[in-house]
Structure 1
């Protein structure tokens, strides 16, 4: 591996490409090792960016600017059982739904982010995200695996309060009930 560092745009592009590929038969171990090396490089780059400034540099540096968010980003919890039950039985309205069947991950990511932004701005609380089960050729489904991972990314994290797999008649493990966070200023 070379010492060249990837730009943030290159890292995003590489992530999209890497997620859309599968290792050749007999080469899965090499692919796993390569993924581990990339993850270690990215962690080292992130750690280097977070290093504190040396004391001498602090004397001459201007004071740090206040950031908009001092608290750590919220983590997602599963929906409470009564809320999940009400959604499943139709006693609590599903205010919006999006079907991501048949889309590539990059298309689905952008479409889902746009949908959640609009739903959040409109003040919706409960939406259904249909990923599909992805049972073709024995796979678990790329979107079924990817969507919950996307929810922990910064661009999605503040939009979502919690999520849980849907009831069978709403898609079961091929769909997610998503509770959106309240817009700022609302209680």
Structure 2
């Protein structure tokens, strides 16, 4: 007679397995024993891993020694204003001005071309440059008028003007010194001085007397050296 399916009490059967005989019952017991063994093995592995982790932490503590938490420093962080920048470029400009200071005692007569207008060109500058200046082939980009200034005021104004014009990248400027008609003796006081001052400025490459429509004998057309930042 074939036995009816029998439950195993409190023990759960593997899914889909029905006990129909004693042989089936033994098979179920075997599978349940395997499951219990696997669960115990997994639990043992987890306990061993935890023990190893704790031992590793203990080894680190033994190697480092006692650890004391650092107390926060008794400091107050203030948002102080940064120190003012050092005007290095301004200082360099001032030193350059001192090095290029112009003198009233400089004799320029030997440096001027002995033509009708007494033009000037530095060594290495061709005669064609002054010819082009006379013909107006260089466009005048700026002008300085020294009328009404004393000699010391005119000297300072001219030095500053040439320095700033060169820094701005200007190449051709006009300096009006006047014909001296209002001076005692009707002689041009500033004309010779301006020529002497311009010769002493390293930024000046050449100058010529202006054309009649641009001031004639009362003005000079000046060619400046190209500046590093100019065009």
* TM-score where L is the length of structure 1: 0.52
For residues 37-48 of structure 1, what are the structure 2 equivalents within 5 Å?
Answer: none
Match of 1:173 among 212, 217, 228: 217
Alignment of 1:78-157 (within 5 A): 79-87=129-137, 92-135=138-181, 136-153=183-200, 156=201
Please say if residues 76 and 163 of structure 1, whose CA atoms lie closer than 8 Å, have aligned partners that are also in contact: no
SS in 1 for 2:207: strand
- Which residue does 2:205 correspond to in 1? 161
Structure 1: any 5+ residue segments left out of the alignment? 1-11, 19-73
Are the counterparts in 1 of residues 133 and 207 from structure 2 also a CA contact under 8 Å?
Answer: no
Point out which structure has higher relative CO (alpha carbons under 8 A, 6+ apart).
1
Q: Report SS of the residue matched to 1:107.
A: helix
Using the alignment, how far apart are the partners of 1:185 and 1:152 within structure 2? 23
Report how far residue 186 of structure 1 moved.
Answer: 7.1
Which protein shows a greater Rg? 2
Instruction: Give the 3 Å change call, closer, same or farther, for CA 186–107 of structure 1 in structure 2.
Output: closer
Distance 2:192 2:167 in 1: 26
What's the TM-score, normalizing by structure 2?
0.43
Distance 1:162 1:184 in 2: 18
Q: Can you list the C-alpha shifts for 1:19-70, whole angstroms capped at 9, x where unaligned?
A: xxxxxxxxxxxxxxxxxxxxxxxxxxxxxxxxxxxxxxxxxxxxxxxxxxxx
How many residue pairs were aligned?
112
Structure 2: give runs of 5+ residues left out of the alignment: 1-100, 106-121
Is the contact made by 2:178 and 2:191 (CA closer than 8 Å) also made in structure 1?
A: yes
SS at match of 1:182: coil
